[in-house]
Amino acid sequence: MTATKAPSTLYDKIFEDHVVDRQDDGTCLLYIDRHLVHEVTSPQAFEGLRMTGRKVHAPHKTLAVVDHNIQTTDRSKGIQEEESRIQVEALAQNARDFGVEYFNELDIRQGIVHIVGPEQGFTLPGTTIVCGDSHTSTHGAFGALAHGIGTSEVEHVLATQTLIQKKAKNMLVQVDGKPAPGVGAKDITLAIIGEIGTAGGTGSVIEYAGEAIRGLTMEGRMTVCNMSIEGGARAGMVAPDEKAYAYLKDRPKAPKGAAWDEALRYWETLRTDEGAHFDRIVRLDAANLPPIVSWGTSPEDVISVTGAVPDPDEIEDEVKRASKKRALEYMGLTAGTKMTEIPLDVIWIGSCTNGRIEDLRTVAKIVEGKKIHESLDYGMIVPGSGLVKQQAEAEGLDKIFIAAGFEWREPGCSMCLGMNPDQLKPGQRAASTSNRNFEGRQGYRGRTHLVSPAMAAAAALTGRFVDVRTLG
């Protein structure tokens, strides 16, 4: 009698396909197919190699790009801020010394590491992908097992092309239904985090499935997988399908010819088997989903745009009540204020969550022929990569943005985090398409409301949050 193989999940399959060694306690050595590197978490890792006389094990499976520290204004005369310049120069030097391909700040292919990977076809279904960056989960949109690692692990992967890992739990997030026009991937992901909380995915890899996920473009799936980390998960993934293949076909680093056909045959097997076990299943109906806005200092602090700032006094748990009270204080909000009545100072559009071409098209459609509201301090749009910028300009989107009064910048992480000159001033309140809203994230004492690109665009026109479903 032949033993039948137990049904396995997409995560199980990719994990098992990459196990090099397994210890009795379940600790595994995983083979890593792709390693993305950026300037913030790699200097000590390269230094570690240098000090011990080791090489990068597989330079051609490693790709370095600069994104966090660089200014988004003209870079032709170099990086202005000294500390950033030193870090950027270190990455350039390390890439040279260790034979790693590097997209510098003037390269058209440069951009936020999680936008560059898929764009280049470096990100592929069924691969294990790591980067010293928490939002590596983004690449899971292609059916890759992609997670963020720490700097010591970056060194380990550089030196050995392997990573020590224990198998995570399987979690299924099933999103059914068709969202209303104007409601999309960002609202879905914020709603999921609102539902499960920032610890909801702890110790798990999330597989996203269901009609609403299938209906998303690759850009939308990347938005959802990107924020898996805000839901506490180790990684997020979507089974690859025709949309993933179409996105990747003919990308510079994607397989070509017979190698593509062979890859496709493997990719087709990357499905969760009927009856596979999930440790936890969460369901969400996208059909009734409103546009979502965050009100607090955690990505789980979310509410419908039609709602009001919640009252912490209604929370039973004392610790949670105190923390949400503090969040309201930091955000300068009063319980009961309607979300649509909160005046904004800054509109920021970009990041690895929402800095792709589709996001910019969405924004352009809403702001075309209109002006950003006079009460705003400014609105800024930062393309996620040089290629996104080039595509946007080829479509004339930059002209629409500039005519509407937005600043149009060079690619990078920009105001997603306060590591470069793009920062909120104390007290400034932003509608932001990024993924994190903790205290000081976008600048000292800055206040962040996480929203979708459509919601950010609509808010730019009125200086307040608007229900995009009412725009027609």
Ligand X SMILES: CC(C)[C@H](C(=O)O)[C@@H](O)C(=O)O
**Footprint of ligand X (CB under 6 A):** 40-41, 68, 133-135, 148, 417
- Taking CB under 6 A as the binding criterion, the range among 73-81, 194-202, 363-371, 410-418 that sits at the site for ligand SF4 is 410-418
Angstrom distances, CA of residue 249 to CA of 118, 140, 225, 360: 11, 17, 21, 22
Angstrom distances, CA of residue 200 to CA of 272, 280, 293: 21, 10, 19
Is 352 annotated as a binding-site member?
Answer: yes
In whole angstroms, what separates CA 193 from the centre of its chain? Answer: 14
186 binds ligand SF4 (CB under 6 A): no
- Taking CB under 6 A as the binding criterion, the range among 155-163, 313-321, 330-338, 409-417 that sits at the site for ligand SF4 is 409-417
Token readout for 129 is 């992908």
Is 28 annotated as a binding-site member?
Answer: no
CB atoms within 10 A of CB 265: 8
Q: Which of 438, 365, 183 minimizes the C-alpha distance to 292?
A: 183
Taking the complex as a whole, the smallest distance from the CB of residue 146 to ligand X amounts, in Å, to 13
388 binds ligand SF4 (CB under 6 A): no
Residue 351's binding partner out of ligand X, ligand SF4, none, with CB under 5 to 8 Å set by partner kind = ligand SF4
Compare residues 64 and 417 and give the one whose CB is closer to ligand X. 417
Single-letter amino acid code for the residue at 453 = P
Q: How far apart are CA 469 and CA 305, in angstroms?
A: 10
| Phi-psi sector, 200: left (phi>0), alpha (psi -120 to 50), beta | alpha
The DSSP code for 81 is S
Among 133, 153, 155, 230, binds ligand SF4 (CB under 6 A): 133
Q: How many residues are there in the chain?
A: 472
* Site of tokens 């209906």: 215
Taking the complex as a whole, the smallest distance from the CB of residue 327 to ligand SF4 amounts, in Å, to 20
Compare residues 42 and 272 and give the one whose CB is closer to ligand SF4. 42
Binders of ligand SF4 among 426-445, rule CB under 6 A?
Answer: 434-435
Token readout for 400 is 């629409």
417 binds ligand SF4 (CB under 6 A): yes
- Taking CB under 6 A as the binding criterion, the range among 80-88, 170-178, 197-205, 412-420 that sits at the site for ligand SF4 is 412-420
Q: Which of 394, 393, 400 minimizes the C-alpha distance to 371?
A: 400
* Site of tokens 């090099």: 20
Residue 148's binding partner out of ligand X, ligand SF4, none, with CB under 5 to 8 Å set by partner kind = ligand X
Token readout for 345 is 């100072």
351 binds ligand SF4 (CB under 6 A): yes
Instruction: Identify the helix (H) or strand (E) that includes residue 297.
Output: none
Q: How far apart are CA 136 and CA 281, in angstroms?
A: 23
Is 225 annotated as a binding-site member?
Answer: no
Q: Which of 130, 65, 75, 66 minimizes the C-alpha distance to 101?
A: 65
Taking the complex as a whole, the smallest distance from the CB of residue 442 to ligand SF4 amounts, in Å, to 10
Compare residues 75 and 324 and give the one whose CB is closer to ligand SF4. 75
3-class DSSP state of 138: helix
Strands across the sheet containing 101-103: 101-103, 62-65, 34-37, 128-131, 145-148
Compare residues 68 and 221 and give the one whose CB is closer to ligand X. 68
39 binds ligand SF4 (CB under 6 A): no
Residue 40's binding partner out of ligand X, ligand SF4, none, with CB under 5 to 8 Å set by partner kind = ligand X
Q: Which of 124, 131, 159, 150 minimizes the C-alpha distance to 63?
A: 131
Taking the complex as a whole, the smallest distance from the CB of residue 254 to ligand X amounts, in Å, to 25
Compare residues 68 and 186 and give the one whose CB is closer to ligand SF4. 68
Contact 146/137 with Cβ under 8 angstroms? yes
Binders of ligand SF4 among 100-129, rule CB under 6 A?
Answer: 112, 114
Q: Which of 18, 123, 14 minimizes the C-alpha distance to 65?
A: 123
137 binds ligand SF4 (CB under 6 A): no
Residue 310's binding partner out of ligand X, ligand SF4, none, with CB under 5 to 8 Å set by partner kind = none
**What are the start-end ranges of the E strands in 195-250?**
204-209, 235-237
228 binds ligand SF4 (CB under 6 A): no
Q: Which residues contact 181 (CB under 8 A, 6 or more apart)?
A: 469
Among 34, 75, 135, 447, binds ligand SF4 (CB under 6 A): 135
Q: How far apart are CA 433 and CA 431, in angstroms?
A: 7
452 binds ligand SF4 (CB under 6 A): no
Residue 137's binding partner out of ligand X, ligand SF4, none, with CB under 5 to 8 Å set by partner kind = none
Compare residues 9 and 433 and give the one whose CB is closer to ligand SF4. 433
449 binds ligand SF4 (CB under 6 A): no
Query: Can you give the binding site for ligand SF4, defined by CB under 6 A?
Result: 67-68, 112, 114, 133, 135, 351-352, 413, 416-417, 434-435
Binding residues: 352, 413, 416
Binding residues for [4Fe-4S] cluster: 352, 413, 416
